[in-house]
Amino acid sequence: MEGKDMGDSIVLKSAARRPLLRRAAALLVAFGLVAGLSVGSSPVKAEAPLVLSVGTTQDLDAMNPFNTALVTGYEVFTLNYDLLTGFGSDLEPIAGFAESYSVSDDGLTYTFTIANDLLWSDGEPATSADVVYTFNLILGEEYVGLGYLDTYLDGVTSVSAPDAQTVVVTMNAPVSRILQSFIPIIPEHIWGGNTLEEISSTYANDPPVVGTGPYQAVEWKTGEYARFAKNPHWRGGDLAADEVVLRFFKSADAMYQALMAGEIDYAHNVTAEQFKLLESADPNIVRVAGSANGFTELGFNAYAKEIKKGGASTTALRDQRFRDALGYAIDREALIEKVLGGYGVAGSTQVPPISVAWHVEPTNPRRFDLAEAAKRLEAAGYVDSDGDGTREDLDGKPLNLRLYVPSSEDSYSKAAEFIAGWFDEVGVSVNAQAFDSDTLVDMMLPPEADGTANYDLFIWGWAGDVDPNLLMKLFLTEEIGASSDSLWSNAQYDALYEEQLNLPNGPERKAIVTQLQQLMYDEAPYHVLYYDASLDAYRTDKFSGWKNQPTDGTPLFGLGPIGYTLLKPATVETGGVDPLPEGGVPIPLVALAAAVGVALLMLSRRGKRRSDED
């Protein structure tokens, strides 16, 4: 199919000032952001600079986008940098580093056009060479940094730059995932002096950061805040906030109090109790319960080999029968009610039900039944031979398991307490302990990543993308040492994943994705506990124009920085309150299972960790 203009030279301007124009079924998509609707009222006078303050309980782990494993890190790098193509309010492709693209007849070649006046924030020209540099880092033989971004170029065979404004990407199959690539385009003139090893390890990318995103990091204090200033060369329309400050709170209570006091404008992932209190706490505060495109899991250390001075405490964790039996000792409905306050849906597979085109429930769902769990443990040979109340593994060692969770979010520790109690009732002792995210990541690294995988069980969470690959890839053998934390290996799973990777979306791929979900569920390297909502809240007395991404998502912590670019100063005539905020309305959580479409949650590594913050 030939690429062609959509009408007569359509140029989409800034989505920063009014809702994006949607374009469907186009062979040549000209993207951009739409110039703004003016508001017929006087803006509130405020002392310069006008600062948007955003709170989260998750600290920032790295300014280098290749070395972040957490949601906060992804939020930071999409403020600093453009993706090749961005995500609009409805998750449609919009202008990113590229302003348009076309697709070849066979669907194997994507040609992207870069604006000839695109500049980095330091004033240097931003060109196709920067895209080629960024992508070729990832297309090499080694993982870059933690390896979480590498998956976005699965299926890409080559990238080239015929000229300064053109990028040609060749695929090995007619799939469109390149348009959903969550890879920040970095400046070669800044990064190019570093080796791959330095980029993956020692290069910190300390502020001031040079990028093409709407805001650039100019200051970062670990555990306190990261401060961003307007990019002087941002071409996506007026930005309401002169500065953005991400504040990292030690507790959800401290963040809640800051929101109530007007010290922050947005709170990401308040607790269920706080969310309920906010319903009538302040007329200037709007609550948003974003549907989940991710999950929280109980994971097992299923590493198949012995590790000197590390590894799991028992070989039982490698045994599918053991993992399966413990699945009957988890009461998901109780967890949703007592841990999440009702804001969630019982978990099953690695593809959340919000991905209605891909999620399929397992054919043999486990139910909460302690007697059944005990029966299955007994049948597998895990017995209590000495009558002390604790079963032994097949080597005769007592089953005393270590369960580790991130420390900054109470829900992980609460869930751990319930699970430890249920497992104890079936004769498996569990000692739960919380660690900060960085420490926990290091403890869980296997020998392939120069670690010792010194853990048994963990509770943590993941966030997904529009396509299910990011969450399915977590269980690949090749991801051990990268995104895999269960360290499970299964040749059938690997082969099925590779088979679907080269298929276009449709019934054939859906059938294989279904098999992948069933296989993971049966083998149980994870027990997906629940698909938990993102409970966010924002103030309307300083900024208006809040818009969810998508409709049942949240304004911020979605895919890309569009929520920041849509904001406007609050207006005098409404007292600062949006009567009908754009997509952000005060809602109790509706039945998530009935949600339709792709909803973007907050969750964590895209392959990213939700850690500590949900």
pLDDT in tens, 133-142: 999 999 987 7
pLDDT at 367: 98
| Residue entry with tokens 């955003």 | 54
Q: Is residue 348 part of a domain?
A: yes
Q: Is residue 252 part of a domain?
A: no
**Residues facing 111 on adjacent strands:** 102, 168
pLDDT tens column, 477-513: 999 998 999 999 999 999 999 999 989 899 999 999 9
**At residue 146, does pLDDT exceed 90?**
no
Say whether 562 sits in a helix, a strand or coil. helix
* Distance between CA atoms of residues 196 and 192, nearest Å: 9
Q: Which residue has the higher pLDDT, 252 or 37?
A: 252
Instruction: Provide the pLDDT confidence category of residue 263 given band limits of 50, 70 and 90.
Output: very high
pLDDT at 67: 94
**At residue 294, does pLDDT exceed 80?**
yes
**CATH number of the domain where residue 320 is located:** 3.10.105.10
**At residue 33, does pLDDT exceed 70?**
no
**At residue 120, does pLDDT exceed 90?**
yes
**At residue 53, does pLDDT exceed 80?**
yes
pLDDT at 292: 79
Give the mean pLDDT of 403-419. Answer: 93
**At residue 608, does pLDDT exceed 50?**
no
Lowest mean pLDDT among 292-306, 328-342, 552-566, 576-590: 576-590
| Residues spanned by the domain of 457 | 294-532
Decide if 558 contacts 75 (C-beta within 8 A): no
Q: Which residues contact 587 (CB under 8 A, 6 or more apart)?
A: 287, 288, 289
Q: Is residue 183 part of a domain?
A: no
pLDDT at 612: 41
Lowest mean pLDDT among 22-26, 257-261, 336-340: 22-26
Q: Is residue 321 part of a domain?
A: yes
pLDDT at 539: 98
Q: Is residue 441 part of a domain?
A: yes
As for how many domains the chain has, the answer is 1
pLDDT at 85: 96
Give the mean pLDDT of 253-263. Answer: 97
pLDDT tens column, 516-528: 999 999 999 999 9
**At residue 233, does pLDDT exceed 50?**
yes
Q: Which residue has the higher pLDDT, 473 or 600?
A: 473
Instruction: Provide the pLDDT confidence category of residue 418 given band limits of 50, 70 and 90.
Output: very high
Lowest mean pLDDT among 88-92, 254-258, 562-566: 88-92
Q: Buried b vs exposed e over 8-37: b needs ≥16 C-beta within 10 Å?
A: eebebbbbbbbebbebeebebbbbbbbbbe
Q: Is residue 154 part of a domain?
A: no
What integer best gives the mean pLDDT of the chain? 86
pTM: 0.79
| Residue entry with tokens 């027990």 | 527
**At residue 9, does pLDDT exceed 50?**
no
Q: Is residue 499 part of a domain?
A: yes
CA distances from 429 to 399, 457, 528 (A): 6, 12, 21
Alpha-helical runs (H) found in 456-610: 469-472, 491-501, 507-523, 562-565
Instruction: Provide the pLDDT confidence category of residue 47 given band limits of 50, 70 and 90.
Output: low
Q: Which residue has the higher pLDDT, 583 or 562?
A: 562
**Residues facing 94 on adjacent strands:** 86
CA distances from 439 to 9, 295, 404, 611 (A): 53, 22, 11, 12
Percent of the chain's residues with pLDDT above 70: 85
Tell me which residue of 185, 411, 431 sits closest to 296, measured CA to CA. 411
In what order do the strands lie in the sheet containing 400-406? 344-346, 526-532, 294-300, 457-463, 400-406, 429-435
Q: Is residue 58 part of a domain?
A: no
Give the mean pLDDT of 242-268. Answer: 97
Percent of the chain's residues with pLDDT above 90: 77
pLDDT at 590: 30
Locate 93 and state its tokens: 């492709």
Tell me which residue of 306, 325, 244 sits closest to 52, measured CA to CA. 244
**At residue 35, does pLDDT exceed 60?**
no
Q: Which residue has the higher pLDDT, 304 or 591?
A: 304
Locate 210 and state its tokens: 């040079």
